[in-house]
Amino acid sequence: MSQTRHFAAVILAAGKGTRMKSELHKVLHPIAGRSMLHHLMASVDSLSPDHKVVVVGAGREQLEQALGDDARTCLQEPQLGTGHAVQQAQEELSGYSGDVLIMYGDVPFVRAATMGAMLDRLNADDAPAAVVLAFEPEDPLAYGRVITDDDGRISKMVEFKDADESERACHLCNSGLMAAKADDLWALLDRVGNDNAQGEYYLPDIVNIAISDGRVCAAVTTDDPAEVAGINSRSELAAAEAQWQREQREHWMAEGATLRAPETVFFSYDTELAPDVTIEPNVVFGPGVKVASGATIRAFSHLEGASVGEGCEVGPYARLRPGAVMEKGSKVGNFVEMKKAVLGEGAKANHLTYLGDATVGAGANIGAGTITCNYDGYFKHRTTIGERAFIGSNSALIAPVTIGADAIVAAGSAVSRDVAPGELRMVRAEQMVKPGWADRFHDTMKKKKAAAKKD
């Protein structure tokens, strides 16, 4: 597609989505951590549209909040069909004479290349009045048919219920997506009637109207029917998630990542893996994760908003929360949680540790059961641990506190004041020793228990 092409995107999202049985608007349900609407808009944005208009209805407030300043909205009320929905965008596009690309918010996986192909066809020498995105499913079911010649020019658009046997034998189906010049679009929509069982105005009718005027209309056919799959129920949402995850697993393995059990690994829409990363079974990536070359993510780990450096080890059973940064060669082991914390090069927290709002210097060792006590009930405070420091097991570092380079915190300490570099800090109560006390205690309690049984 030409980089200088001008077009406006109109996205239809006014439907109630009743089959979802949800208070959340249908197109805001997430796939791989991003709403289906934003999946679609990301593809649109890659083509740099002049305008984006989202047609809203039920759940308008949710959509406007989710979109912010990213697109303009217009209201379809009442909802009288797809043609009527597109007409509601006319005022927002007043004075615009470029191409208009019409899509659906619940059809999230349309590729930018496909959109570009539709716009290219719209601007071909035969100047079609409309371009329809068609597809060939394995089972055409009751989809509307697109009847074309060998050059992709449409001779007829027909709903399944109105098609004769020869037309039903055609497996080229209408996805609903369309492109047209703005002036053609509005003029044709003005002529669409609602003489049908539902009393609605249907967008595909503009094709037959244009053909009756002697205008050319054309079809572009996607080679992947899944690209135009609509999502209307929780089951279809789950199927879309599964499809997306399968494709991402194949993508990252092709890019050089090792997935020990691919079907058990779940990626986010923005996960980034370098070559030679190893992912063990049952790993989940939330949004915002980058993993550098040579890192290993062990089984049952969950990462979100985290950066994992070259040669690092994570898990098993580790949790990296937003703001977690692991520098080269560092390691977190089983049941370690990091949040807004930096683990320096070669540093280790091998097990049963919480590092929150912390900076850990290179080569430091964090013993089992260490906790950075970062929250006082009102504010978060930071812990700083110097290079090569050793934090003994079951220590509580009460922030704000700084542990100097090469310092040692003895096991079981609760540290609330800074520790100087090279210093040993031991914070323990003095041990009390009572020889024979335990033996006497056991004898007394056994006698009481025996007496209780007699009673």
Catalytic residue list contains 302: no
DSSP state letters, 436-447: THHHHHHHHHHH
d(CA 8, CA 169): 35
Which positions ≥6 away from 2 have C-beta within 8 Å? 120
Q: Count of alpha carbons within 13 Å of 188, Cβ hemisphere only?
A: 26
CA 139 to chain centroid: 30
d(CA 311, CA 351): 18
Please name which of 388, 384, 390 lies closest in space to residue 368, comparing C-alpha atoms: 390
The residue from 171, 351, 381, 442 that is catalytic is 351
Do 175 and 102 form a contact (C-beta atoms < 8 A)? no
Which contiguous run of DSSP H or E holds residue 284?
Answer: strand 284-285
Q: How many CB atoms lie within 10 A of CB 59?
A: 21
d(CA 351, CA 280): 18
- Mapped onto helix, strand or coil, the DSSP state of residue 327 is coil
d(CA 22, CA 126): 46
Please name which of 389, 316, 381 lies closest in space to residue 352, comparing C-alpha atoms: 316
Q: Count of alpha carbons within 13 Å of 450, Cβ hemisphere only?
A: 6
Read off the amino acid at residue 370.
Answer: T
Q: How many CB atoms lie within 10 A of CB 43?
A: 19
d(CA 338, CA 325): 8
d(CA 359, CA 308): 15
Do 307 and 325 form a contact (C-beta atoms < 8 A)? yes
Which positions ≥6 away from 123 have C-beta within 8 Å? 5, 99
Q: Count of alpha carbons within 13 Å of 233, Cβ hemisphere only?
A: 4
The two tokens of residue 70 are 């990213």
What distances in angstroms separate CA 402 from CA 349, 361, 395, 419, one per listed residue? 17, 11, 14, 6
Catalytic residues: 351
